[in-house]
Every structure is written in C-alpha cells, then in structure tokens.
Amino acid sequence: MSTINLVTEIPGPKSQALNERRAAAIAQGNAKLTSVAIQSAQGAAVLDVDGNTLLDFAGGIGMQLIGHNQPAVVDAIKKQADDLIHMCSIVSTYEPLVALAELMNSIVPISGPTKTTLSNSGAEAVEAAIKLARAYTGRDSIVVFEGAYHGRTNLTMSMTSKYALFKKTFGPFAPEVYRLPFPNIYRRPAEMSAEGFVEYACQQLDNAMISQVDPNYIAAIVIEPVQGEGGFIPTPPRFLEHIRKICDQHGIVMIADEIQCGSGRTGKLFACEHYGIEPDLITVGKAMGAGTPIAGVIGKAEIVDGPHPGGLGGTYSGSPLACAAAIESLNMIKDPAFLTRANEVGDRIRAGLLALQAQYPDRIGDVRGLGPMLAMEIVKDASSRVPDMESTGAINAATLNRGLITIRAGLYSNCVRFLPPLNMTDEQIDEGLAILGEACAEVLG
C-alpha cells in the first residue's frame, strides 16, 4: 500500500495561504526548503494542511530518525508534562535529567569515566564543547575544516564553512578559528590517487601546525566523522587517525561533531565507532531528541568537568520534556534490532541510488555516505565534475510535486541527501526511490 496520497497540487491552497502568512510574519532569513505546510505526521508519513499525505525522506533534517511522533516518545512527553514541565536544572535536579545523562555516558564509545552536559541545540552543544576544551587546556585556538557545518551562533558560524549561505553579512567572526583543507576524495585533483590525496591532506595538517598555529596553542580540533551539510562526506579513516595522533602528541582535545551523523544515522550509535577511534568529546543533537530541542556533549569526565560551576547551561538546558523524549529515543536507537533495520534501510536506498547512477552516469557524479547516511552529488558532467545546483534544486522540486520530501546539501548545494526515518518499511523505501527515479528522468533525462 502506498503512503503518498495527493488530493491537490503541491503546494495546495491552504499551504500557499500559510506560506504567505509566514512570509509576512517571519524573517526571510529563516529559509524554508519546501512549500508544504504540515498538519501532523506519523512515522515517515506527513499530512499537509490540504489533506495530502507525503513521504518524508528529509526527517526534519535528520531529527526524525525513529519516525515522526513515535508513540513511546509522545507518551513520555505527555506523562512528563503532567508531572513537571520545567524547573530549570540550575535551580534543582529532576530524575529525567540525571537518567538521560547516565544513559548517554553509558553508550558513548569513549573509555574511562565519562560525563555529559546538555543544551538546547546543536550549536550550543558545539559552543559548550569548545568551552570544555578551552577550560581544560587553557588554550584558545580551534582547528576546523573546509566543508564543515557547526551551527549559526557567532562562534559556531565562525567554525562553519560555506560562506555565502551561512556567513555573508554576519561578520566579524570569532577569532582563533583555523580552517584547514578536508580530503573530499570525489573532488581530488584528477592526477592524484585517493590514498595520495588523503596523505597530502595529512601533510597539510602537519604543515598548518607550523604555518598557521602552534599546536601548543590549540585547544581543540573539531571534525564531523561524516560531514553533514558539507554533502555527506565520510572522513577518510587515515585522516581521522592522523587527527587523533596529533591531538595525542600535543595535548589537544579531539571533538567529534556527531550532531548530524550520530545517534544511529550511520547504522551505528556513533559514527566514530565505524573508525575505531575514540574522540575526547562527542557532540550529539538532532535525532537524539526525536524532534524535541535537546543536544549535548559527552566526553572524558576530566575534560567535561573543566569549567567552573556556573560556566555551562542555561534556562532550558536539560528540559524535562526533552530529556523524557531523548531517553525513549536513545533507548530505541541503541537496540541492536533497530540498528540492524537501519542498515537494511541504508542498503536498500544505496542500491536504489547506485542503480540511478548507472542510468545517469554523467549527471550523478557520486553516490556516497556511511551506512544509511547517503547522498548523491549532481554534476554538469562526470568528467568536469562541475556542481549542478540548479538540477539538484529541480530534483528536490520534482520529488515534492509527486509527494516525496527531499532536501539538498553540499558545499556547492548540489547533493540530494537522504535523512528518512530509519525504521521505514521496504514499501516506503521503494515508493520513494521510484519517485526519485521519475524526478531524475524529468530533470536529468
């Protein structure tokens, strides 16, 4: 049975009316990627205000990993709302706050004692991780990479790449942020082997410790094990190992930003588990809260305890409602059966994307990702690899017209990324892939 059921054009008249009100009332800077207005959602199905049912392959940019309105999460939030909506963790302690932190400490792939600090958003979690690293090391500098996305606050925007979309007109930026090349293997010079290219990136990293900043002044190196906004690019293992080595050599805190790639998105609870590398701190967010605003940093206890009492947190950090939701969400994701299914979902989508690439080898330049975290990169032609942002947007629009929500990513905005609930059915996957095929035929054919 198909999930999608369209009863109007997309967007329907009620969506359009709400879009007009939104445009009049809300800053245009809060961009929207699709023209549908949503009434309710369940699993991978979303109902718009015109009565259309759409299939969601964007999952709220990855936060709906266990599906929209997962009943266990809804029940937990309702129960928590009956008991206590908020008290503020600065004022007092409550069970869900402690239980969530204990759960996070118990699942994080970092050896030795671990602790957690909670925040409301991914950007705040990254900011907190930087505070921890600076307080612990007594150093200022931060190393980040090309293509990285870490958030929209001043510090995390400074750490973020992709100037035109995220940074234009917003300077001055935070000081002591050093951006180094990231080995995006698909975009390596044609004459270089993949291994040689990664090796060169390692050398550039070594050289930056002389040419750009002294390693003894670096508080943290921050890296996404799989770049999210950058276009779903897994960090080559050799590069991640090299970062770990440099951090060990110079007492630098290694921070893995797993806000997009963590919490099961790559088919393991944490993306760094694929690499067998232990960061010192891991930032998490998005999917952990199943749609509630919660994020955090988990890491080595001595580092997490670096800042003085009062140096972290805020009015809403560790909201009981969000903690209750996150406990349900993480317990569900960490279940081996859930992760097995997540990998099956990934395998099926990957096979579908590779089949599409075989149909349009000159336009789908790359299909990549880690486990079920997958994207396809659209280019003008395979030999030049010139990014094709227009066709990517046209594919997103063509899937939406047919009832499938997809969104883009990538430094050049030319990747279609897939962040569906990872417990969706085979029928839903196939329905989505069939529509993606139609959209590619329309745009690339």
Ligand X SMILES: Cc1ncc(COP(=O)(O)O)c(C=O)c1O
By CB under 6 A, name the binding residues for ligand X. 61, 121-123, 126, 149-151, 224, 228-229, 257, 259-260, 285, 295
| Cβ–Cβ < 8 Å for 49, 13 | no
Q: In whole angstroms, how close is the CB of 75 to ligand X at the nearest point?
A: 24
Is the CB of 10 or the CB of 104 nearer to ligand X?
104
Q: Which is nearer to ligand X, 123 or 440 (CB)?
A: 123
Q: Where are the alpha helices (DSSP H) in 360-420?
A: 389-401
11 vs 109, which CB is nearer to ligand X?
109
Long-range contacts of 414-417 (CB under 8 A, 24+ apart): 414/231, 414/377, 414/378, 414/379, 414/387, 414/388, 414/389, 415/231, 415/232, 415/375, 415/376, 415/377, 415/378, 416/375, 416/376, 416/378, 416/392, 417/231, 417/232, 417/374, 417/375
Shortest distance in whole angstroms from residue 61 CB to ligand X: 6
Choose between 54 and 129: whose C-beta lies nearer to ligand X: 129
Cα 151 to Cα 37, 47, 325, distances in angstroms: 25, 29, 23
> What's the min distance (Å) between Cβ of 224 and ligand X?
5
From the list 68, 70, 56, 161, the residue with the least C-alpha distance to 418 is 56
Phi, then psi, of 130 in degrees rounded to 5: -70, -40
CB 20 to ligand X: min, Å: 26
Of the pair 161, 260, the CB lying nearest ligand X is at 260
Smallest distance from ligand X to CB 122, Å: 2
Rounded distance between C-alpha atoms, residue 115 and residue 134, angstroms: 17
Task: Identify which of residues 129 and 327 has a Cβ nearer to ligand X in the complex.
Answer: 129
Instruction: Decide whether 232 or 412 has the Cβ nearer to ligand X.
Output: 232
CB 77 within 8 A of CB 321: yes
Q: Which is nearer to ligand X, 80 or 292 (CB)?
A: 292
Q: CB of residue 126 vs ligand X: minimum separation in angstroms?
A: 5
Nearest residue (CB) to ligand X, 260 versus 396: 260
Cβ neighbors of 258 (< 8 A, separation 6 or more) are 224, 225, 270, 271, 272, 282, 283, 284
CA distance 142 to 140: 7
- CB nearest ligand X: which residue? 122
Smallest gap from residue 285 Cβ to ligand X (A)? 5
The least CB distance from residue 151 to ligand X, in Å, is: 4
Q: In the 3-class helix/strand/coil scheme, how is 33-87 assigned residue by residue?
A: CCCCCEEEEEECEEEECCCCEEEECCHHHHCCCCCECCHHHHHHHHHHHHHCCCC
In this structure, are residues 179 and 144 in contact, taking their beta carbons and an 8 Å threshold? Answer: yes
List the Cα angle 137/143/146 in 5-degree steps: 165
Minimum CB distance to ligand X, residue 289 (Å): 9
